[in-house]
Amino acid sequence: MYYVKSVDWDQLISDYPPPPLYQDTVGKMSETQIRDLQNRRFLKRVEEAWQVPFYRSLWQEAGLQLSDISCLEDAPRLPMFTTDDLRRAALDRPPFGSHHAFGRDDIPGMPLKMHTSGGTTGMPRMTLFDPVALEVQGIQTARQLYAQGARQGDVLQITYTLSLANAGWCGYLAAHHWLGCMPLTTGAGNVTNSERQLEFAKAVGTNAWFSNPDYLGRLVRVAEDRSFDLHSLPTKFLSTFLGHDPDGKMRRALEEAWNAPLFDNYGSHEVGLVAWECKAGHLHINEDTVHVQICDEAGRPLEDGQFGTAVVTSLHRTTPHFVRYNIRDRLAIYPHTRCACGISSRTLSPMQGRIDQMVKIRGNNVYPTSCKAAINRDPRTNGEYLCVVQYLGEGIGRSLEMTVRVERRNTDIDAQALRQSLEKDLHKDLGLRVEVEIVDPGTLLPFTGEGEKIKRVLDLRNKH
C-alpha cells in the first residue's frame, strides 16, 4: 500500500487539526466539549484494546469486563501499567510485544514504522507506528512549534538525530508536513559536529531550534571557543524538553546566550507530545490526542494542583494502544481555562522529576538495574553497585551525569583495569558512556541498605 493512500487526509485534519486550524477549533473548545470528545475516543480505544490479549488479561485480572467501562469517569477502574509491563510483554511475544495486536509473522497490510525507547538492557523496547500515529505526533509537535512562533518559510534546525528514537522525526514531520517550515535535520553532534552545526545555521539562516537543552549549551560553549556570535543568528525561539529545572537557571542561561526565548515541552516516546509551552508560559495539553490523569501510587486520581504520577491514555493510537499508561513522571494538572495566548485547555506543571528511579541522561532513559548484568558478569566485582546522579557544571555548562560506584571483590583486584572494563561493558549495555568508580567491599552498604528494597540510586540533583 502506498503511504500517501493509507490515510484519509481530510478526515485526519478534521479529527486532529494542525495549526492554525487548531487555534480556531479544538483550541477554543469549552471544557464540556473537550470532555465529550475525549469520552467518545476513550471508549473507542478501550473497545479496541479489549481485543488485544495484553489488555484483556490485565483488565480481567482486575475483575473487569468490557461492559464495566461506560464513560471516561470509569477510567480509574482500569489498572495502570508501566514500562516494566511492556518489557515483560516484549518477552512474552517478541519482538514487538503482546501489547501489539499482531506479531512479526502477521503484520497487517499497512505502512508501519518502528521506533524504540533508549536505555534498556539488551534490545531496546520497540513500538510500532501506523500512519495516523506518525502524522498525529507531527501535528502535536506542529501545534507546539506554531504556538512558540514557527511560521511558513522558517528554517527549523533539528539536532535530535533521525534514528530509532522518535523526537527528531516528530520535529521533521511537524516542519515538513504541517507547518511549511524547512527542517534542517543536522542531528546530534556525532552526526554533524557542533562547529559545522553553527556554520549551517549561519549559511542557511536558521531561525528556530528543536534541540536537547544540554546540546544547546554545548553549542554555546563551541561558539565561545570559535568566537562565533550566536546573537548574529536570527533566532526566534528555542524549543526543547527542559526537564527538571527547579530554579530556572538553565532556562535563563540559554535564553541569555542565544538572545531568544526558550520553551519547555513534555511528552513520551509512546504517546507523543503531551503538552507544550505557549508564549504566556503555560503547558497546554493536547487534549484531543491524550487524556492525562495525575494519580497516587494506587492509580487514584488526585485533586488539581496536587503532584503525583502522570497516567496517560492515547486517544488516537491503535497500533498499539496505550490505555492508562503510567509514565511515572511527577507532575500536577490544572483546571481548564482560557489562556492569554488564546488556547482553552487544561495545563500541566513543569516536570518535577521521576516517580521511580529511572533517570534521563543525555536524552536516554537509564534504569539502575540496567547496570546489573555487566557488573555481575565480571567476577572481579561482588555485585554491589550504586548509581550516583548529579548535575555537573553551572548554567549553560550544566549537565546531568551518572557515576556508577562498584565494589571490587577484594582489595587485591586492580581498580584501574576493572574500571576500564566496566566502562566499556556499561557503554555497550546502556547505549551511552558513564563513569565508573571502583570502591572497596562494604563501602556502599550505608547507601544501598540491604533486604528486599535495596537502593541503587543516590540522587544528588537537589543538593547541587
Residues 400 and 344 in one domain: no
Same domain, 75 and 134: yes
CA distances from 330 to 201, 266, 324 (A): 36, 12, 16
pLDDT in tens, the chain (464 residues): 799 999 999 999 999 999 999 999 999 999 999 999 999 999 999 999 999 999 999 999 999 999 999 999 999 999 999 998 999 999 999 999 999 999 999 999 899 999 987 543 456 789 999 999 999 999 999 999 999 999 999 999 999 999 998 999 999 999 999 999 999 999 987 799 999 999 999 999 999 999 988 789 889 989 998 999 999 999 999 999 987 776 687 899 899 999 999 999 999 989 999 999 999 999 999 999 999 999 998 999 999 999 999 999 999 999 999 999 999 888 999 999 999 999 999 999 998 876 766 677 877 777 777 787 788 789 899 888 999 998 888 878 788 899 999 999 899 999 999 999 999 999 998 888 999 999 999 899 888 865 334 678 888 887 64
- Please state, in angstroms and rounded to a whole number, the distance separating the CA atoms of residues 386 and 88: 25
Torsion of CA 331, 261, 337, 299, to 10 degrees: -10
Contact between 431 and 363 under an 8 Å Cβ cutoff? The reply is no
Say whether both 252 and 336 belong to one domain: yes
For residues 346 and 371, membership in a common domain is answered with no
Q: What is the pLDDT of residue 366?
A: 78
pTM: 0.81
Residues 252, 401 share a domain: no
CATH number of 81's domain: 3.40.50.12780
Given a contact cutoff of 8 angstroms between Cβ atoms, the answer to whether 398 and 217 are in contact is: yes
Q: Are residues 347 and 371 in the same domain?
A: no
Instruction: Note whether 446 and 345 are same-domain residues.
Output: no
Are 439 and 405 in contact by the 8 Å Cβ rule? The answer is: yes
Last residue of a domain, one of 352, 372, 399: 352
Q: Is 3 exposed, middle or buried (0-12, 13-18, 19+ CB in 10 A)?
A: exposed
Look-up of cell digits 488526585: 302
Size of the chain, expressed as the number of residues it contains: 464
Report how far Cα 17 is from the mean position of its chain's Cα atoms. 23
User: Do residues 122 and 5 both lie within one domain?
Assistant: yes
Domain shared by 52 and 186, yes or no: yes
Other beta carbons within 10 angstroms of residue 435's beta carbon come to: 14
DSSP state of 123: S
Q: Which of 311, 329, 352 finishes a domain?
A: 352
Structural domain total, the chain: 2
Instruction: Examine the fold and report which residue of 352, 384, 404 is the final residue of a domain before the chain moves on.
Output: 352
CB neighbours of 131 closer than 8 A, spacing ≥ 6?
3, 6, 7, 110, 111
Q: Are residues 101 and 19 both part of a single domain?
A: yes
- Classify strands 237-240 and 182-184 as parallel, antiparallel or unpaired: unpaired
User: Do 270 and 289 sit in the same domain of this protein?
Assistant: yes
The whole domain housing 278 covers 1-352
pLDDT at 451: 39
The answer on 425 and 408 residing in a single domain is yes
CATH number of the domain at 369, please.
3.30.300.30
